[in-house]
Amino acid sequence: QKEVEQDPGPLSVPEGAIVSLNCTYSNSAFQYFMWYRQYSRKGPELLMYTYSSGNKEDGRFTAQVDKSSKYISLFIRDSQPSDSATYLCAMTHGSGNTGKLIFGQGTTLQVKP
């Protein structure tokens, strides 16, 4: 079993829809949680990071962490065709700025105009 599980999709939604992306994990030592967006043939780009449990909002994006359930989510409101990309969750032990990140498989999202 992988440490981080993420449904690869693909997920197809109409423009303007609310998108929910999720990851589960098995290691309770993970403390910092991140979401990256990756366009085709590009490197991942950091969207959101969250420490421990709770919510964090940034524009159309909301990240949620539920450590008791070992479950994290990313919500995208008013989705746009430009949001079409692969979304990767990532997490790390201890401090979020040290050492390695463990990534999920990535979910491919397509937003149709």
Write out the residues near another protein by the rule CB under 8 A. 4, 6, 8, 32, 34, 36, 41-46, 49, 88, 90, 96-106
* Cβ(111)–Cβ(81) below 8 Å: yes
Nearer to another protein, 69 or 95 (CB): 95
| Ramachandran bin of 93, using left for φ above 0, alpha for ψ from -120 to 50, beta for the remaining angles | beta
Name which of 73, 80, 39 is nearest 57 in CA terms.
Answer: 73
Nearer to another protein, 5 or 75 (CB): 5
Nearer to another protein, 65 or 106 (CB): 106
Tokens of residue 82, six digits: 């430009």
CB of 104 to another protein, least distance (A): 5
